[in-house]
Amino acid sequence: MWSSSLTGVSAISQSDDAHAQNVAQLATCRSVRLSGDDRLRHHAIHCLVCDMRLDFDAIEADFGIRVSYCFANVPERPAAFRRDGLIEYDKHSLIVTPWGDW
């Protein structure tokens, strides 16, 4: 059974490499330090949701990684999305098409 003090809206804050969550009347009820992988995922999701685009060259410069190496074992799901016209990608970027944004 849910306690009324734990239901409702919570606030999530981000500060450099940490996320904090406030619940009900409590200040910073829970916090998590983000790993490098977490920050990379957060950045990628943010770019896709806000810009509908991932710039692989910028990711490599900002995070000091090689995108082709980090995502070498990703399943073939992007190929299916591309075949369905939802995304376009090459070695420099991944772009969500208007059909993929719909």
pLDDT digits (tens, 9 = 90+) for 27-80: 555 667 888 888 888 888 889 999 999 999 999 999 999 988 877 766 667 888
The predicted pLDDT at position 54 comes to 92
Task: Work out the burial of residue 93: count CB atoms within 10 Å of its CB; fewer than 13 is exposed, 13-18 middle, 19 or more buried.
Answer: middle
The predicted pLDDT at position 13 comes to 63
Q: Residue 15 corresponds to which tokens in the numbers above? A: 């500060």
pLDDT digits (tens, 9 = 90+) for 79-97: 889 999 999 988 899 999 9
One of 3.90.1150.10, 3.30.470.10, 1.10.10.920, 1.20.120.1810 is the CATH number of 36-101, namely: 1.10.10.920
Give domain limits for the chain.
4-33, 36-101
| Spatial distance between the Cα atoms of 102 and 89, rounded to a whole number of angstroms | 18
Reported pTM: 0.67
Tell me what the mean pLDDT of segment 15-20 comes to. Answer: 65
